């Protein structure tokens, strides 16, 4: 057998073997739980790296049309421009969000540092600096970061901004308590909690302030202007198509189509007030139809599909191909 | 009832299942003419391909929202068959894609199908086009493509969700002959309404076996049926035990699921 | 609440996008085609960014580059770098093998990763089967006679009998390798088919209302919000 083909089949088998063993092996023999999340993430990472294939395919197809000015090249240009512009807008929006998070996380870092000082003091850790020096550094860093917040721009008439001002005041109080005695860790836990809260509130405040930025507006045009309405409109096309499909399907050509139409009619009449006016038993009949025979048929179909899927999965795992799948090389 | 790990009974069942599969594989290699009953929708696939050959218009094969898994693998079997037919009749085969990973697999499969009938030169990568990994953007791209290319035959094989009706109706509007196949009963209902032929549930998995009649493919169907038969009787026995427990509650018999939960 | 010009602009663009999609119902046209390509372009970009933003960056690259390690004001660090994270380079490189699909000479490397992917799906199927199919099988063990407080509950018993007949006859319909030549087996198979049609009709009927409500929502948006926004601007 060709060595490349053998290698491919080996990789296929190993990929399946891990998850098979993870399921069948009892914990007493080997505990997979320790590594399972990491290994699962590794496989997801591997699949995620393929994300560029779609972009490359789009670019090859549409650039070809644009360069050679083939039919509909204008639309290909539209596609590629919208792709790149959206990439830029989303990237900038992401970057902006990361900047906000990073600013807010400064307080989270100081919160954790305050707790670490307390824990090290309790554990009498001699490998670190003295408590008073660490507290001094904590407070000096905190003061630097607080000074970066432009308190003059906080509008106390706005709820979010008022909340930020209140939290800042509480942090200042805790900070002042520590300043009274750097040797003591009595107020470190309290400061840590308030700093954690400040980090959350400050992030929300910055996101709130950011909503009027140019990037955010472009993002909203992209999503609330184009993307979401396009998604909802496509979804709503179903309303038209379900009517045309019903018109075609409910032409009674056979006993089977009659049964299908009858059950659909009963279910529809059981849902609308008009149906209840004709006969008040329709809602109960509808519920019965959906919960008893439909459930039975649904379960039989899905069970069959699960079994067939399992057989197919076995073939995939052992690379047993009846058709050309990617094994010929 | 959740299974993080299987117990000894479950392990025995799994190995029994693997044994049944390989037993039939060995048996079918010696006797390839095993019986499979007629499945109308699958017979239609070949006829639809022949019809497409007569018209000369493009054929479309849509794998829907399928990700890498058994449903895709089963659909690839049919895709291979359709690709060979399209290559024989020199029809364009349009394969819009939803997932980049699946696109890579489909490209390989179709290329090899064309090469197996010595029509490698007809294979055009640009006909396997990535549309979008967003459900309705994909549907929007598909319906536009079908209308512009005026496909004469469309195959909808794979996993579909709400957009299934949109895809099927688009094909209806251009007068394409449509074969739909999916495992989800909710979407099968829409395919029955809009497609000319529909394969229900596991008929999708049986399609490739039915079309090619290769020993491995026949083995799949035989294994499926044997396991299903086993479950068929399990359900009957389980219901009988449940009935006995209702009539004679003092007996308090363990039902069959007890064996999957005991730890030895 | 009075809307700003920007909010009105968003609504107007949304309305035009909606009309573009609805124009397809008349016939495929330039207007629809433009928005179709716009839609695909935006969603392709969204797919890439979301993949990075929701998974690759926070779960892979961020810890791999040690960016989750912070330095405290006294020079100490929050945690040591976990060198096991360097193993993540392996799936990253394997994932990059997908791009060899474009090379004729090295396409087998892409097949390696494809095979791995297929193998993983195959291996996962056993757990999936036990967690999805087995509970369904177990919940199908329904008693044919239901006794409640000493007396037979005829309605529940009837329901269970109908359920089991439906389940078993539909399962029987899907036996491909059993000859269904006798009258009895043909009858059971036919019964299964008829019961399936009832099931499909019921599903069809139950989704009609949901689909129509989506259409009503969009039409409502056009009639009230969109037209309102145009009137306000002009």
Q: Which two tokens stand for residue B226?
A: 């044997």
From A180's Cα to the closest Cα of chain C, the distance in A is 20
Cα A296 from Cα A253, distance rounded (Å): 25
Chain centroid offset of residue A201 CA: 23
Domain ranges, ordered by start, for chain A = 1-49, 92-210, 250-321
pTM of the model: 0.90
pLDDT for A325 equals: 45
Integer angstrom CA distances of residue A322 from B66, B78, B105, B220, C177 = 20, 11, 15, 10, 19
Distance spanning both ends of chain B, measured CA to CA? 18
Measured between CA atoms, the residue of chain C closest to residue B225 is C175
Q: Which of A45, A215, A289 to mutate to test the interface with C (most CBs of C within 10 A)?
A: A45
Cα C142 from Cα C123, distance rounded (Å): 32
Answer yes or no: is pLDDT of A192 > 70.
yes
Q: Is C218 on the interface with A (CB under 8 A)?
A: yes
Domain ranges, ordered by start, for chain B = 40-212, 214-264
Residues of B in contact with A325 (CB under 8 A): 73, 76, 80, 105, 108-109, 112
- Looking at residue B130, what DSSP letter applies? B
The tens digit of pLDDT for each residue in C73-103 reads: 989 998 999 999 999 999 999 999 999 988 8
Integer angstrom CA distances of residue C65 from B56, C58, C59, C69 = 55, 11, 11, 9
Residues of C in contact with B225 (CB under 8 A): 175-178
Find residues 272-301 of chain A whose CB sits inside 8 Å of chain C: 272, 286, 288-301
How many helices (H) and strands (E) would you count in chain A?
Answer: 13, 0
Strands B177-182 and C147-148: unpaired
Cα B139 from Cα B131, distance rounded (Å): 9
Integer angstrom CA distances of residue A275 from A119, A269, C121, C197, C217 = 69, 4, 47, 22, 23
Out of A245, A307, A312, whose CB is closest to B165? A245
A254: exposed, middle or buried (C-beta count within 10 Å: 0-12, 13-18, 19+)?
Answer: exposed
Strands C147-148 and C151-152: antiparallel
Question: Is the Cβ–Cβ distance between B46 and B132 less than 8 Å?
Answer: no
Q: How many CA atoms lie within 13 A of A308 on its CB side?
A: 30
Residues of B in contact with C177 (CB under 8 A): 34-37, 221-222, 225
Q: Is C186 on the interface with A (CB under 8 A)?
A: no
Measured between CA atoms, the residue of chain B closest to residue C163 is B239
pLDDT for A154 equals: 66
Q: Is A101 on the interface with C (CB under 8 A)?
A: no
Q: Give backbone dihedrals phi and psi of B120, rounded to 5 degrees, phi first.
A: -55, -30
Q: Is C35 on the interface with A (CB under 8 A)?
A: yes
From C225's Cα to the closest Cα of chain B, the distance in A is 23
Cα B81 from Cα B92, distance rounded (Å): 14
Q: Is C200 on the interface with B (CB under 8 A)?
A: yes
Residues of B in contact with C150 (CB under 8 A): none
List chains adjacent to chain B, taking adjacency as at least 3 C-beta pairs closer than 8 Å.
Answer: A, C
Residues of B in contact with A307 (CB under 8 A): 202, 224, 227-228, 231
pLDDT for A328 equals: 39
Cα B15 from Cα A309, distance rounded (Å): 17
Answer yes or no: is pLDDT of A207 > 80.
yes
Out of A302, A304, A314, whose CB is closest to B21? A314
Nearest to A316 by CA among B67, C125, B112, C127: C125
Q: Which of A29, A64, A311 to mutate to test the interface with B (most CBs of B within 10 A)?
A: A311
- Looking at residue C77, what DSSP letter applies? B
> For chain A, what is the radius of gyration of the CA atoms?
32
* Residue whose pair of structure tokens reads 């050679």 in the numeric block: A68
Q: Which of C70, C86, C87, C116 to mutate to test the interface with A (most CBs of A within 10 A)?
A: C116
Out of B6, B80, B201, whose CB is closest to A305? B201
Chain centroid offset of residue C181 CA: 40
From B159's Cα to the closest Cα of chain C, the distance in A is 15
Q: Which two tokens stand for residue A240?
A: 């038209």
Q: Which two tokens stand for residue A65?
A: 């049309």
Question: Is the Cβ–Cβ distance between C94 and A8 less than 8 Å?
Answer: no
The tens digit of pLDDT for each residue in A231-254 reads: 999 999 999 898 888 888 777 788
Q: Which of B9, B193, B220, B238 to mutate to test the interface with A (most CBs of A within 10 A)?
A: B193
From A147's Cα to the closest Cα of chain C, the distance in A is 16
Q: Which of C36, C47, C113, C141 to mutate to test the interface with B (most CBs of B within 10 A)?
A: C141
The tens digit of pLDDT for each residue in C204-213 reads: 999 888 888 8
CB contact under 8 A, A26 and B5: yes
pLDDT for A256 equals: 87
ipTM: 0.91
CB pairs under 8 A between A and C: 399
Q: Which two tokens stand for residue C117?
A: 């992917």
From A274's Cα to the closest Cα of chain C, the distance in A is 13
Residues of C in contact with B221 (CB under 8 A): 176-177
Answer yes or no: is pLDDT of A329 > 50.
no
pLDDT for C219 equals: 94
Share of chain A above pLDDT 90, in %: 64
From C207's Cα to the closest Cα of chain B, the distance in A is 9
Q: How many CA atoms lie within 13 A of B124 on its CB side?
A: 16
Tens digit of pLDDT per residue, chain B (264 long)?
677 788 888 888 899 999 988 888 888 777 767 788 888 788 889 999 999 999 989 999 999 999 999 999 999 999 999 999 999 999 999 999 999 889 988 998 999 999 999 998 989 888 999 999 999 999 999 999 999 999 999 999 999 999 999 999 999 999 999 999 999 998 999 999 899 999 999 999 999 888 888 888 888 888 999 999 999 999 999 999 999 999 888 888 888 878 777 765
CB contact under 8 A, A238 and B70: no
Domain B40-212 annotated CATH 3.30.1330.20: no
Q: Is A63 on the interface with C (CB under 8 A)?
A: no
Q: Is C92 on the interface with B (CB under 8 A)?
A: no
């Amino acid at each position: 057998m060709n060595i490349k083909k053998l290698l491919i089949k080996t990789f296929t088998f190993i990929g399946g073997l891990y998850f098979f063993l993870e399921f069948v092996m009892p914990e007493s023999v080997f505990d997979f739980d320790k590594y399972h999340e990491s290994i699962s993430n590794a496989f997801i990472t591997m699949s995620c790296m393929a994300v560029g294939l779609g972009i490359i395919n789009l670019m090859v197809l549409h650039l070809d049309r644009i360069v050679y000015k083939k039919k509909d090249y204008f639309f290909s240009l539209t596609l590629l421009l919208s792709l790149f512009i959206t990439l830029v807008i989303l990237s900038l929006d992401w970057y902006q969000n990361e900047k906000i998070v990073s600013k807010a996380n400064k307080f989270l870092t100081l919160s954790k540092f305050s707790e670490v000082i307390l824990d090290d003091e309790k554990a009498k850790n001699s490998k670190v600096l003295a408590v008073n020096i660490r507290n001094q550094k904590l407070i000096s860093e905190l003061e630097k970061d607080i000074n970066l917040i432009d308190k003059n721009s906080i509008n106390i008439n706005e709820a979010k901004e008022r909340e930020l001002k209140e939290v800042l005041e509480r942090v200042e109080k805790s900070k002042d308590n520590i300043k009274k005695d750097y040797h003591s860790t009595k107020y470190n836990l309290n400061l840590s909690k308030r700093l954690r809260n400040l980090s959350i509130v400050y992030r929300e405040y910055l996101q709130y302030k950011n909503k009027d930025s140019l990037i955010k507006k472009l993002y909203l045009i992209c999503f609330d202007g184009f993307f979401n309405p396009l998604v909802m409109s496509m979804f709503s096309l179903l309303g038209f198509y379900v009517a045309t499909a019903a018109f075609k399907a409910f032409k009674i050509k056979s006993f089977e189509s009659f049964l299908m139409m009858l059950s659909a009619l009963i279910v529809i009449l059981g849902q609308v007030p008009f149906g209840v006016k004709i006969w008040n038993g329709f809602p109960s009949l509808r519920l019965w139809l959906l919960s008893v025979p439909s459930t039975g048929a649904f379960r039989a179909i899905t069970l069959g599909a699960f079994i067939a899927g399992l057989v197919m999965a076995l073939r995939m795992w052992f690379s047993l191909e009846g058709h050309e799948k990617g094994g010929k090389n | 009832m959740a299974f993080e790990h299987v117990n000894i009974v479950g392990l025995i069942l799994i190995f029994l299942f693997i044994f049944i599969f390989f037993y039939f594989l060995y048996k079918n290699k010696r006797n390839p003419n095993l019986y499979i009953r007629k499945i109308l929708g699958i017979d239609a696939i070949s006829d639809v391909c022949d019809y497409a050959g007569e018209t000369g218009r493009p054929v479309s094969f849509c794998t829907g929202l399928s990700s890498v898994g058994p449903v895709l693998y089963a659909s690839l079997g049919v895709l291979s068959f359709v690709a060979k037919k399209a290559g024989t009749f020199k029809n364009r085969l349009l394969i819009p894609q939803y997932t980049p990973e699946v696109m890579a697999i489909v490209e390989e499969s179709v290329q090899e199908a064309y090469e197996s009938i010595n029509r490698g030169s007809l294979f055009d990568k640009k006909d396997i086009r990535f549309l979008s990994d967003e459900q309705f953007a994909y549907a929007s791209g598909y319906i536009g493509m079908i209308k512009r290319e005026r496909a004469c035959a469309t195959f909808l094989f794979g996993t579909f969700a709400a957009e299934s009706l949109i895809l099927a109706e688009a094909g209806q509007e251009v007068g394409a002959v449509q074969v739909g196949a999916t495992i989800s009963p909710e979407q099968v209902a829409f395919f029955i309404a809009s497609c000319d032929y529909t394969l229900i549930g596991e008929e999708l998995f049986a399609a490739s076996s039915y079309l090619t009649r290769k020993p491995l493919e026949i083995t799949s169907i035989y294994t499926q049926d044997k396991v299903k038969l086993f479950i068929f009787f399990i359900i009957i026995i389980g219901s009988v035990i449940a009935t006995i427990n209702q009539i004679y509650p003092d007996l308090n018999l363990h039902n069959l699921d007890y064996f999957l939960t005991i730890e030895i | 609440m009075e809307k700003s010009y920007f909010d009105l602009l968003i609504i107007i663009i949304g309305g035009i996008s909606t009309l573009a999609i609805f124009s397809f119902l008349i016939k495929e046209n330039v207007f629809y085609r433009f928005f179709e390509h716009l839609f695909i372009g935006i969603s392709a970009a969204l797919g890439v960014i979301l993949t990075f933003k929701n998974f690759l960056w926070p779960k892979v690259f961020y810890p791999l580059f040690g960016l989750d390690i912070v330095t405290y004001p006294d020079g100490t660090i929050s945690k040591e770098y976990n060198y096991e994270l360097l193993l993540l380079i392996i799936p990253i490189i394997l994932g990059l093998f997908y791009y060899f699909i474009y090379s004729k000479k090295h396409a087998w490397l892409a097949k390696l990763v494809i095979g791995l992917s297929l193998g993983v799906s195959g291996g996962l199927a056993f757990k999936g089967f036990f967690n999805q199919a087995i509970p369904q099988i177990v919940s199908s063990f329904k008693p044919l006679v239901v006794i409640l407080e000493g007396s037979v509950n005829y309605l529940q018993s009837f329901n269970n009998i109908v359920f089991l007949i439906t389940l078993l006859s539909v399962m029987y319909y899907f036996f491909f390798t059993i000859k269904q030549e006798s009258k009895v087996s043909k009858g059971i198979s036919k019964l299964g088919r008829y019961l399936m049609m009832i099931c499909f009709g019921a599903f069809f009927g139950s989704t009609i209302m949901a689909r129509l409500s989506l259409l009503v929502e969009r039409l409502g948006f056009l009639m009230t919000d969109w037209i309102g926004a145009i009137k306000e601007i002009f």
